[in-house]
């Protein structure tokens, strides 16, 4: 389970400018910023094009966290989540320099022992609630760690960027987060424990324990 303060630390991120050979060429368009489409992290250029996904691997990106401190992370790998039937959930392996300068995983280990993140547009507060657009800077996104409720609920199928039958799934995602965290009173206080298994199902769907 990811600690609320860690969610808060990563909540508000600004636009980034990776160093790539294409961006360094004088004839090439300059970097306009960064956006998240679904779960794909895109470096966008001034001509409206964006860096191909495979070209982002190895890039070092600069961001500003909620405390106004500049930080860096490197994209080491990108893969499609094999558990997702639709194939629109991307998993990112991200590393960040520690005090010694060594690159270490940005994310803690998930139930599979992997250190992965799912980019999501927008921000979430310490209680796991989406932050209203007026309180979120343009281009803000959150690396939803697969070790925490935010990322787990995306992998359970509650994708906050999607709309089904006219209903946005962000509220379903928020409800899932409260379930995963054991926030039974909706107060932001979790009552779960690490390793707790949960039966996640909807009407007409066979229950299945998830961790």
pLDDT of residue 190: 85
pLDDT of residue 118: 96
- The token pair that represents 132 in the structure block: 């209203």
CB 9 within 8 A of CB 67: yes
pLDDT of residue 142: 86
- Within 8 A by CB and 6+ apart from 35, the residues are 42, 44, 50, 121, 139, 141
Instruction: Name the residue ranges covered by the structural domains of the chain.
Output: 4-210
pLDDT of residue 35: 87
pLDDT of residue 33: 80
pLDDT of residue 7: 34
pLDDT of residue 4: 30
pLDDT of residue 104: 97
Low-confidence stretches of the chain (pLDDT < 50) are: 1-24, 207
pLDDT of residue 1: 35
E strands, the chain, in order: 31-37, 40-45, 60-64, 70-80, 90-97, 103-105, 117-121, 141-145, 163-164, 167-168, 198-199, 209-210
> 133-158 burial string, b = 16+ CB within 10 Å, else e?
eeebeebbbbbbbbbbbbbbbbbbbb
pLDDT of residue 136: 63
């Amino acid at each position: 389970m990811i600690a609320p303060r860690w969610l808060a630390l990563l909540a508000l991120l600004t636009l980034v400018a990776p160093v790539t050979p294409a961006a360094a060429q004088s004839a090439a368009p300059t970097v306009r910023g960064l956006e998240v489409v679904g779960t794909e992290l895109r470096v966008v250029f001034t001509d409206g094009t964006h860096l191909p996904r495979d070209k982002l691997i190895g890039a070092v990106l600069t961001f500003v966290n909620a405390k106004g401190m500049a930080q860096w992370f490197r994209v080491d790998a990108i893969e499609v989540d094999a558990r997702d039937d639709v194939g629109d959930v991307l998993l990112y392996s991200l590393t960040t320099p520690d005090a010694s300068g060594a690159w270490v995983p940005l994310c803690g280990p998930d139930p599979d022992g992997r250190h992965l993140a799912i980019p999501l547009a927008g921000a979430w507060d310490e209680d796991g609630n989406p932050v209203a657009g007026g309180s979120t800077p343009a281009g803000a996104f959150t690396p939803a760690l697969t070790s925490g409720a935010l990322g787990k609920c995306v992998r359970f199928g509650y994708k906050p960027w999607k709309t089904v039958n006219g209903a946005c799934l962000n509220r379903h995602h928020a409800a899932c987060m409260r379930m995963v965290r054991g926030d039974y009173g909706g107060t932001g206080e979790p009552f779960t424990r690490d390793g707790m298994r949960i039966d996640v199902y909807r009407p007409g769907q066979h229950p299945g324990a998830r961790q």
